[in-house]
Structure 1
Amino acid sequence: MGEAQSQVLNVDVAIIGAGPAGLTAGYLLTKAGKSVAIIEKDETYVGGISRTVEHEGYRFDIGGHRFFSKSKQVVDLWNEILPDDFIERPRMSRIYYEGKFYSYPLRAFEALRNLGLWRSTVCMASYLWARVFPNRNVRSFEDWTTNQFGKKLYSIFFKTYTEKVWGMPCDEMSADWAAQRIKGLSLMGAVVDGVKRSLGLNKKPNDGMQAKTLLENFRYPRLGPGMMWEAARDKIIASGKGQVIMGHALDQLASDGRGGWRMTAKGEGGIVTIEADHAISSAPMRQLARRMHPLPQSTFHANELKYRDFLTVALMVEGEDLFPDNWIYIHDSKVKVGRVQNFRSWSPEMIPDEKMACVGLEYFCFEGDGLWSMEDDDLVALATKEMEILGLLDPAKVKSGAVVRQEKAYPVYDEDYAANVAAMREELEAKYPTLHLVGRNGMHRYNNQDHAMMTAMLSVENILAGERVYDIWCVNEDAEYHEAGDEGAERALPARENGREVSEDQAAALNSMRDVPTRIVEDDDSGDARRAA
């Protein structure tokens, strides 16, 4: 075995991570004439959590990734990178509970009908009890949701899935997350509406819903989201200004003492050293802090940041039409799976055999726990068994399977996360104006793909301007962002940041924090709860 090779590169910008944020930055910088070097620890795939994995000719996502954004700037960039390979797909997602499907978002009258006479009666009695005798000390997600819908409906449609995703009990999640997340559904309104329609007095199918109509269609790369980021990588390399170094993980990021950076990355091919004027990091904040030299004083805070992990078990199944949904939420406590993707419904071109289907079972977990540590064959067997339990496929028709683990898929918003992020951000911004944190893990923000891209776009603007023109920490959105509205049509009044005017498209992305659950924290001896984040 030969000695590892060493390579030294001199570029304008060193970039950690070839996900949506890192590749967006690399593409825009090379387009502007800057030289870049991007390191990516994965040996095969670019795109991060938005990559598309290939197994025996089948292609599948790590979670589904619709290409929708209210920012025209983001949409235009997608079209520029991948001009000829988008397809229009119908959107369909439902909730599965005890062998029946329910519309998502939940339509209360339909739900009561599907539950049957006896269970519907119990649900309505539970609802009426909650309305007459509500919990006056609402502290948790469970308290709030039970007050709104009753204990029975809460246990059926809210408790199981929420706890699967976030890995903590609903009675420990703060109530205000529920208030923000569950909007526009009135159970009493649904019942009144159903009675009116049964008498022919109301033909408007609102089912008690006050919320905006969901997107009925979305655009999607015909071979999956990885197609977008593979194209971005290829354009970066073809520019002659950029390199994407695969299979190399960050070893150290050191200040050169002159305002620039010396970054080393290790892989099987050896050690790569990159010297650059600027550094862009989409690496998890916890990892970055540990790799910096000198160690930041805020490393203690970064070490306290936590993550929720995720794995996908893809099953290749005989039978092209298993179900029409893009994905199904599994609200059933008999199984561990949280969501099932149907990749033929995302794009038929991802399935090489028209007589076959590919489904992805998504399990939410923590790195090192029982699910994460299971052997791949055991996970395939578990997924097959759970699909049989759910009645969604015949196990005899499962021909093969594959497992993909995604560490640090979701930044956890615990009671201390905001203070920990702020401590690291404030120190790094004060000491290192040429270091730019971007993306979901780089900022410990529950970003969507387009938000991650916007943080990179504005960071590039800052680099090209030679100063911090935009505060990228303002980029985020609430949970309705991908649920309603017109693509690329969001318009906001021009804003100013540091004396500079922000375009309407950029201003559209400078929004409120996307809501995620936080644990209850006691304010004082009175027992009142507050939201920590």
Structure 2
Amino acid sequence: MHISSDGTAGSKAGEIQVDVAIIGAGPAGLTAGYLLTKQGKTVAIIEKDATYVGGISRTVEHEGYRFDIGGHRFFSKSQQVVDLWNEILPDDFIQRPRMSRIYYEGKFYSYPLRAFEALWNLGVWRSAMCMLSYAKAKVFPQREIRSFEDWTSNQFGKKLYSIFFKTYTEKVWGMPCNEMSADWAAQRIKGLSLWGAVIDGLKRSLGLNKLNDGSGTQAKTLLETFRYPRLGPGMMWEAARDKILATGKGRVLMGHSLKLLAPDTRGGWRMTAESEQGEVVIRAKDAISSAPMRQLAARMHPLPETTLNASNLKYRDFLTVALMIRSEDLFPDNWIYIHDSKVKVGRVQNFRSWSPEMVPDKDVACVGLEYFCFEGDGLWSMDDDDLVELAKKEMDILGLVSPDKVIGGAVVRQEKAYPVYDEDYAANVDAMRTELEAKYPSLHLVGRNGMHRYNNQDHAMMTAMLTVENILAGERLYDTWCVNEDAEYHEAGDEGAEKALPDSRKPVTEDQAAALASVRDVPGRVPSRDRKAA
């Protein structure tokens, strides 16, 4: 079978022999492919999307407008990740101002909340009710804390909880706040209190608490700026793909999905990928998978004993409705959080604020309305035209733009955007991981969906970087499962604060790798028996 220089398979079935077969051309898969080909290894990467590389970090183009899928600030505490970004895309980063706010009933609120501003915007009567509710929670706190609702109401009072926490959280995760674990709330909002916000506001008004300028000499607070590829994050991964192909050691097969992965009778792995043009067989000593664990298990032969565990893993899906609007930019934020129950939209991005080059017409504003959903539900299944009409209607309801100013629209769907951490996910992931590691040491799981971990882009890259080290050494020098997430990772701290990879022949530990120390702040459910008792 002929494989063209751009990695596209021909029409006839054939076979490719490489050192490493890689499933998925997202940040993890392309990072692995890039580093392996640099070391002289041959790789074949299959990607089910026929057009775009980058996975959830891709940039979609429509009539010259570019859309980021979810927003990706390029900031990492890992110097290795920062250096790799600079190596792959040396001349195309721009520095952008960081700004995100909350939108509620026609007014903007700083994110994180500033107490005085919030109370002023809410008005005298509602502010008084919020303070009374807060005082009641302090004097008569709920003693039995089971849920996100219980914990947050105790911290801020029922009134502020209902305004600034309930609606948005339920939109994102698709379940009631009184069914979400209180443990998640304690992690997600750790260190935040109404009284602390008041003190912070006083300090700001007196000039005693300046924003972090990245110098490392000030108290850690939100980053004011971040780096970003001028044409969106997809630019990074398109460059990585091109560099892989330029080595002559790598192939990227677009529009190819995994059909079968099995141990090869010759040793190593036999991977079958299928496309509209037919099938291709890839033989390799090692295999790297960034495919969802549920999907991988179903396509392995023989089926893993833990296939049932993997089949119970769940995902939250996501879609963006981009609107082109004949208007000046509607707001300066990178995105705003919509805390309003009258609409289904959860967040609105302003693509020009990410990069002016993503919007080709200076007289047109381009925004992306983000909807959180489950694949197959009402939102996901709507026609694109109906979704555009819904987005126009909701922007009108919010008072942000009149529908008659909208001159175009496009829809981008992203399945399996968020691995769900339900009651059983950890046991299911651990069962499959344990079995695969014991049986198949040359099969490596990487990335967000490959490991069912709610990683950021740079953490997905780190799992791939350590996996490459393991493959080159011919043994597992690093425990890639220690790579995880700091809940405040993208919001605070110093870029490149962690300078080196861990020492060889030792597992990655909490104080060695770059911001790999804590469990990602995603919600688990209240155990069933507690929900019944509540």
CA distance in 2, matches of 1:28, 1:503: 23
Q: CA deviation at 1:106?
A: 1.1
Report if the CA contact (8 A) 1:183-1:211 is conserved: no
1:187-235 Cα offsets, whole Å, 9 max, x none, are 23445676x789x9x554699xx98310100000000000000000000
Local SS of the residue matching 1:183: coil
1:531 paired residue number: none
Q: CA deviation at 1:510?
A: 3.7
CA distance in 1, matches of 2:363, 2:424: 50
Report if the CA contact (8 A) 2:244-2:250 is conserved: yes
Q: CA deviation at 1:337?
A: 0.2
CA distance in 2, matches of 1:234, 1:309: 29
Name the TM-score, length of structure 1 as normaliser. Answer: 0.93
CA distance in 2, matches of 1:293, 1:60: 38
1:452-488 Cα offsets, whole Å, 9 max, x none, are 0000000000000000000000001121110101111
1:124 paired residue number: 131
CA distance in 2, matches of 1:509, 1:158: 26
2:30 paired residue number: 23
CA distance in 1, matches of 2:126, 2:464: 50
* RMSD over equivalenced CA pairs, Å: 2.4
Give the percent of matched residue pairs that are identical in Structure 1 and Structure 2: 80
Confirm whether residue 154 of structure 1 aligns to residue 161 of structure 2: yes
1:393 paired residue number: 401
Report if the CA contact (8 A) 2:478-2:507 is conserved: no
Report if the CA contact (8 A) 2:146-2:530 is conserved: no
Structural mapping, 1:312-461, within 5 Å:
312-461=320-469
Report if the CA contact (8 A) 1:319-1:355 is conserved: yes
1:353-405 Cα offsets, whole Å, 9 max, x none, are 11112100000000000000000000000001111111111211111100011
CA distance in 2, matches of 1:297, 1:504: 31
Confirm whether residue 298 of structure 1 aligns to residue 332 of structure 2: no
2:317 paired residue number: 309
1:117-165 Cα offsets, whole Å, 9 max, x none, are 0000111111111111110001100000000111110000000000000
Q: CA deviation at 1:522?
A: 5.5
Q: CA deviation at 1:413?
A: 0.4
1:412-434 Cα offsets, whole Å, 9 max, x none, are 00000000001100000000000
CA distance in 1, matches of 2:466, 2:199: 49
CA distance in 1, matches of 2:61, 2:21: 29
Unaligned runs of 5+ in 1: 529-533
Q: CA deviation at 1:184?
A: 3.2
Deviates more, 1:107-116 or 1:150-159: 107-116
Query: Residue 483 of structure 2 aligns to which amino acid in structure 1?
Result: V
1:505-532 Cα offsets, whole Å, 9 max, x none, are 962244222121100116799969xxxx
Report if the CA contact (8 A) 1:454-1:509 is conserved: no
Query: Residue 452 of structure 1 aligns to which amino acid in structure 2?
Result: A
Local SS of the residue matching 1:214: coil
Query: Residue 52 of structure 1 aligns to which amino acid in structure 2?
Result: T
2:4 paired residue number: none
Confirm whether residue 186 of structure 1 aligns to residue 170 of structure 2: no
Confirm whether residue 255 of structure 1 aligns to residue 263 of structure 2: yes
Q: CA deviation at 1:20?
A: 0.3
Report if the CA contact (8 A) 2:80-2:499 is conserved: no
1:42-75 Cα offsets, whole Å, 9 max, x none, are 0000000000000001001111101000000000
Of 170, 185, 210, which aligns to 2:177? 170
Query: Residue 519 of structure 1 aligns to which amino acid in structure 2?
Result: R
1:71 paired residue number: 78
2:521 paired residue number: 515
Q: 1:21 to 1:190 in 2, by over 3 A?
A: closer
Local SS of the residue matching 1:325: coil
CA distance in 2, matches of 1:98, 1:32: 56
1:84 paired residue number: 91
Q: 1:309 to 1:197 in 2, by over 3 A?
A: closer
CA distance in 1, matches of 2:200, 2:243: 54
Name the TM-score, length of structure 2 as normaliser. Answer: 0.93
1:113 paired residue number: 120
Report if the CA contact (8 A) 1:259-1:432 is conserved: no
Report if the CA contact (8 A) 1:73-1:505 is conserved: no
Deviates more, 1:316-325 or 1:114-123: 316-325
CA distance in 1, matches of 2:80, 2:251: 25
Confirm whether residue 135 of structure 1 aligns to residue 174 of structure 2: no
Report if the CA contact (8 A) 1:93-1:104 is conserved: yes
Q: CA deviation at 1:317?
A: 1.1
Query: Residue 406 of structure 1 aligns to which amino acid in structure 2?
Result: Q
Local SS of the residue matching 1:312: strand
Unaligned runs of 5+ in 2: 1-9, 212-217
Local SS of the residue matching 2:524: coil
Query: Residue 239 of structure 1 aligns to which amino acid in structure 2?
Result: T
1:31-52 Cα offsets, whole Å, 9 max, x none, are 0000000000000000000000
Of 246, 262, 265, which aligns to 2:254? 246
Report if the CA contact (8 A) 2:79-2:499 is conserved: no
CA distance in 1, matches of 2:165, 2:532: 29
Of 464, 483, 487, which aligns to 1:479? 487
Q: CA deviation at 1:12?
A: 0.3
Local SS of the residue matching 2:192: coil
CA distance in 1, matches of 2:443, 2:160: 48
Query: Residue 330 of structure 1 aligns to which amino acid in structure 2?
Result: I
CA distance in 2, matches of 1:250, 1:131: 55
